[in-house]
Amino acid sequence: MLTRIQKEKVVADLTEKIKDGKVIIFSDFSGTTVSQMKELRDELRTSDSSYKVTKKKLIDLALKNAGIEASVLGLEGQIGIAIGKGDETAAAKVLAKFAKTNKNFKLLQGVLENKVINGKEVMALASLPSREELLAKLVGSINSPVSGFVNVLAGNLRGLVTVLKGIADTK
């Protein structure tokens, strides 16, 4: 059992992590083994995210202290909180992949840009491409008309060269 001072430290640490995070995802980890949770935490760490398991009331206090109007008190099961600091989709992708392989693990809801999203919206967030992929698609879309224009100009030059070569061959 945690003492009051330990609980206050947990709430303060969690509040700081929530303020630094871009996305927060709540999940029910009931029935998940310790080794599976270790794998999940390791994978989340590689995507600049973290996973914390603590009492619902402490999570609720940390959310309130961070200025987020969300509550985990009404959620069923044992609640864990994943906080993504980097790409908004990275933590959701890791958790969705983990939920597919572990049937006991459920994504319940999340917070994105101070708005509460449900489990289906978290799964939709996980299916989005990463920021880098979206930027690459944007660059490709911007470059496409330019490269098409260059190909049209090159085609006219090739046609001219072909006509001139044909005239030279006949003489």
Q: What is the DSSP string of the chain?
A: ---HHHHHHHHHHHHHHHHH-SEEEEEE-TT--HHHHHHHHHHHHHTTEEEEE--HHHHHHHHHHTT-----TT--S-EEEEEE-S-HHHHHHHHHHHHHH-TT-EEEEEEETTEEEEHHHHHHHHHSPPHHHHHHHHHHHHHHHHHHHHHHHHHHHHHHHHHHHHHHHH-
The residue that leads in pLDDT, 25 or 119, is 25
pLDDT at residue 38, rounded to an integer: 92
Q: What is the pLDDT of residue 169?
A: 86
User: Is residue 72 a contact partner of residue 26, using CB atoms and an 8 Å limit?
Assistant: yes
- Cα of 130 vs its chain's centroid, Å: 7
Sorting pLDDT into bands at 50, 70 and 90, what band is 143?
A: confident
- pLDDT score of 43 more than 80: yes
pLDDT at position 63 over 80: yes
Find tokens 């979206």 and name the residue. Answer: 134
The 10s digit of each residue's pLDDT in 99-108 is: 898 888 888 8
Average pLDDT for the chain: 86
Measure the CA–CA gap between 50 and 142, rounded to whole angstroms: 36
pLDDT number for residue 135:
84
**pLDDT-derived band at 119, boundaries 50, 70, 90:** confident
